[in-house]
Structure 1
Amino acid sequence: MKTLIRNFSHTFRRFFTASILNILGLSIAFASFFVIMTQVDYDYNFNKGYKDYEKIFRIEINPNPDSGWQLWTPRPLCEQLQSASPYIKSISQVESYQSEDEYEVNGNLFKATTCTGFGNFLETFQPEMINGSADALNQPKTVLLSESTAKKFFGTTDVIGQTIFRGKQADNNAWTIGGVYKDYPENSQIRNWVMMPKEADTDKGNWKNWNYICYMRLESPSAAPEIEKLILQIFVKNFPELEQESDISQFIRLTPLVDAHFSTVGNKSASSRTTLYLLICVSFLIVIIATINFMNFSLAETPMRIKSINTQKVLGATTRSLRLTLITEAMLISFIAFILALIWVAILKDFGLQELVNAQLTITEHPMLLLATFCLSLLMGLMAGLYPSYYVTSFPPALVLKGSFGLSPQGRILRTVLVCIQFFVAYMLIIGVGIMYLQSRYIRTSDYGYDKDAIIVGNMTKETQSQTDAVVGELSQIPGVKGVAVSEFILSSADNYMHWGRSNGDKYIQFDAFPVDCRYLNVMGIHIVEGRSFKPGDEDVYIFNEFTRKKYPWLKVDQPAPDDNLVIGFCENIKYSSFRNDDTNQTMAFLIPGKKFAQWEWEWRNFVNVRISAGVDKVEVIRSLQKTMEKFTPGHDFNFRFMDEVLDANYRNELRFTKQILLFSLIAIAISLTGVFGLTMFESEYRKKEIGIRKIMGSSTIQILYMFNRRYILILAGCFIVAAPFGWWIGQHWLQGFAEKTPVTPWIFILSFLLVTLITMITITIQSWKNANENPANSIKTE
């Protein structure tokens, strides 16, 4: 051991630059592997935190071709299913939307997400109760809290019988705590929310309101096909027109809960298994590239180490012992890199690294992944040390000590292949990232049909919702504000909004409903193409988009829609959802709720939309908006934000994946270029005498540099030709999640080739410059 440490210390000091580059490259690769695999682990194990998770399913329905597959179901369906089959152990029906609410507890205000459903809707997920019972949800005005929520509200989990107020205490909406359940993992469908029962009679027997998501626990996963047939029978019984439905798989399906995370039904930005596999490939490719670099640097040290090693042979050391020492040395370097990788993760997780992944990057939370990374580091150290240890001990001592040894043709081919792998990965990732960048730019720069760059949006509270006119009046007085309007949703903030179906006799229409006030279209800059815009005093009126008029040509201005609400106009098609949908082929309507929607009162007024003048200080305007709104709800953060922030939130998963691939592509390129540096150092050391002879024969420095660069240009061109289709495939796979895609231009391929080629040529030139300018006498004097 002492000999090993002495040799390692001597080698580290003698080849300090190479050793540092090796350790840095490997440590960054291992850190990248750990970070990527936390995301893979998060997605792969999504929804596996529930007891017997493989028995839990989600109902998905395809009621008609226009609406496509959806999660929403009517309440009576689940009520009839509950007792229809012994294979159904429990059914949970929850409202499709979880709201973030304020709760007042002992005079303090907290924000928490609320999930509502019927009866003990947690029965399917079987939470582990810390206090109380999940059956408490069967009692009116009784809630369950998660362990973390209870501690946030009260500082303890011993809270059974305590009272919380939804909203403020003055609202007199009191709820009693009936139980506290253990926190579910973060990667779970049903999370650590305030669980609250809906009123028992809500939508009871109502087949028209499809507003609930249905989960069920089966006795066995094999019972799913029989339950699908049973669901269809119930639908046919209540909707006889479905009797002709013969292909069950095209109408109803039970999706295993573990697959729901990867399903785009109800969530078009869902994770993809292909994306998961791609991340796994990238993580291993980065480690392999770093290992190749390690090997190249070890080979580059051969001319400087070979005499010392063969001297030890002459003094009695066996080839086997020398190879074992070199392999152990390589594994020790890899182990040091592993330790440094953990330090990188611990330091950088609070400096933006955490934003790249959903999972927590705390090292102690991933013991199995930590062990896997450690074993991988030892394996890579072993692999990186095998060939160099064999190669450096393969020369006859007599020849080495005389100075006569040279390049092995087989070894040169191997090193070239290894460098080709690095260039292949670099090109492939750059092209993929380039296509992702083009789509991101396309999303930001496309014409949305309204003036998104002039709009600031903020949240509303109950106090501001009930005083809309006063709020609009106050905000309109702020310098730089040109208009103010309220709406239930924010344009371009989601894939799905309220989807309504309305019928009257033989006339039937489906559309996305967007409740707004009379000022909204003017504030947003949405143009009317027929009829008129909204005006003060309008109630229960529609303005549809142009595609709706095209699809339902019987809809006319100043005539009622199938639900008897008046159609007063048609507006231009706008990009109101996301680029995952083709909004030019989507039916939608703006409406002003009136007496026919009296049950909403003012509760649909969730957001305030503010149009500002060009050239104003937006940050200062936001400060003024926040200060003005606090007159109505003191101390509340109204979260005013630009539309760019809304878009970033809507494309959070895509942007995160793009950032992941971009960062790790840059890492792969940097490591690859380090490998080129090592290989060039290796060849230039071996070819010193050749360079000296060429200089004596009249070759210039430029010609020497050209000699080194020419070979790599050919390698780069070949790698690019092979890598381009793979990079295009990565980009095309990512674009599949969008209905509207950017055109992929040849420039992305040309620029990627020029970028990698230019950086490589600069690296080779810098490394070769010293030997190309050295006095030829120094290179050949030992010959």
Structure 2
Amino acid sequence: MKILLRNLVNLFARNKTAALLNIAGLTVAFASFMLIMMQVWYELGYDRCYPNANRIYGLCFQVPQSGDLGTVLPRPLAEKLLRSSAGIETGGCLSYQHGDPNVPFFRPERGPESAIAAGFSLVSRSWLDVFGFETLSGDLNAFSEPNAAIIPHSLAVKLFGSENPVGQTIAKSEGYREAAQFTIVAVYRDFPKNASLKNDVYTDLKERLLQDFNNCSTPYFVRVKQNADIRRIEQDLLPLVWNYAKTYDEDSTRSQRLRLVGLNDLYFFNETISQEGGNRNTTYSLLTVALLILLIAVINFINFTIAQAPARMRSINTQKVFGCRSRQLRINLIAEAVCLTAVSFLLAVLTVHALEETNLSSLITGGISPGDYPGLISISAGIALLTGFIAGIYPAFYITSLQPALALKGTFSVSRPGKKLRVVLIAVQFSISMILIIVALAVHIQNRYIRQFDIGLPRENIVTFDLGPLAGRSADPLIHKLKSNPDIADVTLSRTFIVSKSGTFCNRLYKNDEIDFRLMGVAPNFCSFMGMHLVEGRDFTETDQQRDAPALIFNRTAKKLYDITVPDWLEYSGEIVGIVEDYHDKPLHYSIEPIALIVYDRSSPLYCMYVKINNPDPGPAIAFIREAYRTLSPQRQVPDVKFMEEQLGNLYQKERNLSEMIFLFSLVSVSLAITGVFGVIHFETSSRRKEIALRKVYGSQTGEILRMFNKTYIRIVLICFAVAAPAAYIVVKRWLESFTYKTPIPSWIFLMAPAIVLIIVVAVITLRCYKTATDNPIKSIRTE
């Protein structure tokens, strides 16, 4: 240990610049690695927090035409399915219809003014068994008692502090369909951020929806038996699905399919209709970036270690003369490398901790607090030590295996093996940097293309928000109040936000053929509000809300695909009164699909409100909207009023975060690569001072010497570009495949990458070499 500490002190004393650059480079690399891996950890660990998570599956029906997967089923059908296969251990459901993501809960003795907002969900009792809720106090067996509820630990602390909440009562504001007061029977451990189950107040769904075959608002999940055959279970359940379809429609074919999708896979399934999830390609892209940055740091470490070799040769050979074995020398050199990486890792953890309050944390879905990722930090620490071992082992063996004559002369720096090794290592760094630059530019261009893409809907001067309990007839007073404001031009409603991956899926029989389409409930003025062009038929009218049979308007894609005529009748749905021009009702990852807009009676709840503002300054109108909502629903938190442009942008938040992360860390990779170049140039100019001085004596100009150094690295950059360009093209092309609508890959981004690297490399080399090239040659020769 004493020898190790002495060597480290001597290392810093001999070359502070190289040592500090080495530690700084490793610190930045480890910090970047951990930041990227926090997002990867979040994505790959999604929904893996439940006991037996690998045995939990979602019951999904597959749409025949599109292949999409629906995650909701009629409850009567699903309950029969649970009892129809021996491979199913248990199964449960949640009701989308009865839940609310933002409900004010309070202790009755303290009044509504002390309310804390929380989610509210109704689930079947078996739902708790499927997901293995972990109770901290109380008894889940009391869940089915009248007006019983379970709450998360975080809410229990907010409402009751250190008191025991079990047996106590909580209330929610009046005006909800369900009971206003609940008795707490258990407190469960909070689920992590990367879980589809929210930390809601849960109460029993009981017998609701058990007789309603037409209501598809309940996602069902099952826990299968150990080593169960999933395909066999699907075959067991499929006849029931066919019989259900036959009961609903006598002419139905056997085109319906039921699939069991693993909970761990469902998050990454792009085919799911009502399940927001991740992108596996994006996650693996980030993982690749993290590993590439680590690789660049390892290369830098090796380069710096080798660069310091000439200064250590005499010391190493002197130790050999006094009997120190090569094995012990190698162990000491590797231990030095491991110690340096350990110090760099600790500095990296402190750096990440210091970044918690910066804007960088918004790019990572789960946050960047190291304390939230104990497993990741432990693994990263192991990787850091392994990195030090790997980065130190080659230089240690190489330095101690050199011939004494070469070592004592200190000419390893100019030997052919030394040069070749440095060129290969720098070439790898340049290639990685250019790949990341090209990918970052391509992702940025695609995101800009998405933002500017015409989706067939207005974006300007429209704000939107969730109505919550004011949906249905309760929305009328709010609409009248808003329309009384001269700054507000119009108001309309829809069941969900107009552009969303989730929605209601329908399968009907039309002209003796099955047709599949998405169904969106809207207000009568919705089409005119959104500026939709009517292709055929008529628009909705106020009287459509008073009809016995609802009115429907399909889009042009549905008309082309199913040969829809106007007017016509759609069995079990209503009258087709019109056709509108296509618009994008899903993110641009997906193509335009058949969609039907439908106007129900006034009691049917429409949750999403849109307000068109005709004042150049929208601030007063937005304040008026908030105040109007607060007046009509004083006990509920005022909803977040967002511009439609912002809401549409949120659909691509992950892509935007990916763009910013890749751009940021491509800069990090270039910086690390340039740091490595700086170290190598520092090494070369120091070892070639005599050569440079002799060239000056024999008439070489400063510019010629600078060109001599630059020419080598310019050639390396151009060769690396020939490797990086096709590799980056493959990566970009594969990533763009996840979008149905994508921009062509412009050729200029491939030219930008080598241009950026060349400019930086030439600048660094010129600045570093200029001092050596302009030194007094006589002094340099005398010194050497």
**What TM-score does the superposition give when structure 2 sets the normalisation length?**
0.89
Contact 1:142-1:175 at 8 Å conserved across structures:
yes
The yes-or-no answer on 1:164 pairing with 2:174 is no
Q: How many residues align?
A: 768
Partner residue in 2 for 1:612: 613
Counterpart code for 2:755: L
Q: 2:128 aligns with which of 106, 122, 126?
A: 122
Give the 3-state SS of the residue equivalent to 1:120 in structure 2: helix
Counterpart code for 1:541: A
Taking structure 1 as reference, are residues 479 and 316 closer, same or farther at Cα in structure 2, changes over 3 Å only?
A: farther
By how many angstroms is 1:722 displaced? 1.5
Task: Give the 5 Å matches for 1:511-522.
Answer: 511-522=517-528
Taking structure 1 as reference, are residues 168 and 244 closer, same or farther at Cα in structure 2, changes over 3 Å only?
A: closer
Q: 2:558 aligns with which of 535, 539, 548?
A: 548
Taking structure 1 as reference, are residues 307 and 274 closer, same or farther at Cα in structure 2, changes over 3 Å only?
A: same
Partner residue in 2 for 1:625: 625
By how many angstroms is 1:323 displaced? 4.6
The yes-or-no answer on 1:8 pairing with 2:14 is no
Give the 3-state SS of the residue equivalent to 2:756 in structure 1: helix
Instruction: Determine the C-alpha separation between the residues in 2 that align with 1:772 and 1:442.
Output: 48
Counterpart code for 1:521: C
Partner residue in 2 for 1:720: 721
Task: Give the 5 Å matches for 1:397-412.
Answer: 406-412=413-419
Contact 1:433-1:731 at 8 Å conserved across structures:
no
Task: Give the 5 Å matches for 1:290-329.
Answer: 290-306=297-313, 322-329=329-336
Give the 3-state SS of the residue equivalent to 1:719 in structure 2: helix
The yes-or-no answer on 1:593 pairing with 2:594 is no
Instruction: Determine the C-alpha separation between the residues in 1 that align with 2:570 and 2:413.
Output: 87
Counterpart code for 1:225: R
Partner residue in 2 for 1:22: 22
Taking structure 1 as reference, are residues 781 and 498 closer, same or farther at Cα in structure 2, changes over 3 Å only?
A: same
Taking structure 1 as reference, are residues 21 and 564 closer, same or farther at Cα in structure 2, changes over 3 Å only?
A: closer
Taking structure 1 as reference, are residues 719 and 645 closer, same or farther at Cα in structure 2, changes over 3 Å only?
A: same
Instruction: Determine the C-alpha separation between the residues in 1 that align with 2:45 and 2:762.
Output: 44
Give the 3-state SS of the residue equivalent to 1:422 in structure 2: helix
Instruction: Determine the C-alpha separation between the residues in 2 that align with 1:263 and 1:110.
Output: 34
Q: 2:435 aligns with which of 411, 414, 428?
A: 428
The yes-or-no answer on 1:778 pairing with 2:784 is no
Task: Give the 5 Å matches for 1:286-365.
Answer: 286-306=293-313, 322-365=329-372
Task: Give the 5 Å matches for 1:413-562.
Answer: 413-463=420-470, 466=473, 468-476=475-483, 478=485, 480-492=487-499, 494-503=500-509, 506=512, 509-539=515-545, 540-557=550-567, 559-562=568-571
The yes-or-no answer on 1:253 pairing with 2:263 is no
Contact 1:513-1:589 at 8 Å conserved across structures:
yes
Counterpart code for 1:235: V
Taking structure 1 as reference, are residues 736 and 81 closer, same or farther at Cα in structure 2, changes over 3 Å only?
A: same
Partner residue in 1 for 2:278: 271
Q: Deviations over 1:181-200 (max 9, x none)?
A: 23334333334322233351
Instruction: Determine the C-alpha separation between the residues in 2 that align with 1:46 and 1:407.
Output: 52
Q: Deviations over 1:707-761 (max 9, x none)?
A: 2222222211222221223222322332232222222121221222222222222
Q: 1:216 aligns with which of 211, 222, 232?
A: 222
By how many angstroms is 1:508 displaced? 5.5
Q: Deviations over 1:414-460 (max 9, x none)?
A: 11111111112112222222222122111100112122133221232
Contact 1:709-1:761 at 8 Å conserved across structures:
yes
Q: Cα RMSD (Å) of the superposition?
A: 3.2
Instruction: Determine the C-alpha separation between the residues in 2 that align with 1:123 and 1:324.
Output: 54
Taking structure 1 as reference, are residues 532 and 429 closer, same or farther at Cα in structure 2, changes over 3 Å only?
A: same
Instruction: Determine the C-alpha separation between the residues in 2 that align with 1:169 and 1:237.
Output: 40
Q: 1:151 aligns with which of 148, 157, 160?
A: 157
Instruction: Determine the C-alpha separation between the residues in 2 that align with 1:68 and 1:399.
Output: 68
Task: Give the 5 Å matches for 1:1-80.
Answer: 1-66=1-66, 68-80=68-80
Instruction: Determine the C-alpha separation between the residues in 2 that align with 1:53 and 1:765.
Output: 58
Taking structure 1 as reference, are residues 761 and 123 closer, same or farther at Cα in structure 2, changes over 3 Å only?
A: same
By how many angstroms is 1:290 displaced? 0.9
Partner residue in 2 for 1:577: 586
The yes-or-no answer on 1:179 pairing with 2:186 is yes
- Greater CA drift, 102-111 or 321-330: 321-330
By how many angstroms is 1:660 displaced? 3.1
Instruction: Determine the C-alpha separation between the residues in 2 that align with 1:150 and 1:718.
Output: 62
Taking structure 1 as reference, are residues 3 and 56 closer, same or farther at Cα in structure 2, changes over 3 Å only?
A: closer
Taking structure 1 as reference, are residues 77 and 157 closer, same or farther at Cα in structure 2, changes over 3 Å only?
A: farther
Contact 1:327-1:381 at 8 Å conserved across structures:
yes
Q: Deviations over 1:501-549 (max 9, x none)?
A: 3447747544322222233333333232334434444423333222222
Counterpart code for 1:550: K
Q: Deviations over 1:19-57 (max 9, x none)?
A: 221111101211222233333333333333222233322
Instruction: Determine the C-alpha separation between the residues in 2 that align with 1:220 and 1:3.
Output: 56
Taking structure 1 as reference, are residues 267 and 72 closer, same or farther at Cα in structure 2, changes over 3 Å only?
A: closer
Structure 2: stretches of 5+ with no match in the other structure? none
Contact 2:267-2:275 at 8 Å conserved across structures:
no
Contact 2:56-2:262 at 8 Å conserved across structures:
yes
The yes-or-no answer on 1:235 pairing with 2:263 is no
By how many angstroms is 1:110 displaced? 2.6
Q: 2:199 aligns with which of 192, 196, 217?
A: 192
Taking structure 1 as reference, are residues 403 and 680 closer, same or farther at Cα in structure 2, changes over 3 Å only?
A: closer
Give the 3-state SS of the residue equivalent to 1:452 in structure 2: coil
Instruction: Determine the C-alpha separation between the residues in 1 that align with 2:569 and 2:258.
Output: 34
Contact 1:269-1:654 at 8 Å conserved across structures:
no
By how many angstroms is 1:578 displaced? 1.0
Q: Deviations over 1:599-654 (max 9, x none)?
A: x2xx32x232122348x234554334334443333483321112232133222333
By how many angstroms is 1:495 displaced? 0.9
Counterpart code for 1:51: P
- Greater CA drift, 522-531 or 409-418: 522-531
Instruction: Determine the C-alpha separation between the residues in 2 that align with 1:117 and 1:323.
Output: 63
Counterpart code for 1:626: R
Taking structure 1 as reference, are residues 399 and 781 closer, same or farther at Cα in structure 2, changes over 3 Å only?
A: farther
Counterpart code for 1:675: G
Give the 3-state SS of the residue equivalent to 2:128 in structure 1: coil
Partner residue in 2 for 1:648: 649
- Greater CA drift, 462-471 or 495-504: 462-471
Contact 2:168-2:183 at 8 Å conserved across structures:
yes
Contact 1:269-1:653 at 8 Å conserved across structures:
no
Q: Deviations over 1:329-369 (max 9, x none)?
A: 33222121111011011111221343333345433444443
Instruction: Determine the C-alpha separation between the residues in 1 that align with 2:413 and 2:753.
Output: 36
Instruction: Determine the C-alpha separation between the residues in 2 that align with 1:233 and 1:464.
Output: 38
The yes-or-no answer on 1:375 pairing with 2:382 is yes
Contact 1:62-1:252 at 8 Å conserved across structures:
yes
Taking structure 1 as reference, are residues 462 and 423 closer, same or farther at Cα in structure 2, changes over 3 Å only?
A: same
Contact 2:29-2:293 at 8 Å conserved across structures:
yes
Counterpart code for 2:732: G
Contact 2:412-2:418 at 8 Å conserved across structures:
no
Instruction: Determine the C-alpha separation between the residues in 1 that align with 2:465 and 2:252.
Output: 48
- Greater CA drift, 699-708 or 387-396: 387-396
**What TM-score does the superposition give when structure 1 sets the normalisation length?**
0.89
Contact 1:120-1:138 at 8 Å conserved across structures:
no
Contact 1:268-1:580 at 8 Å conserved across structures:
no
Give the 3-state SS of the residue equivalent to 1:285 in structure 2: helix
Instruction: Determine the C-alpha separation between the residues in 2 that align with 1:80 and 1:321.
Output: 72
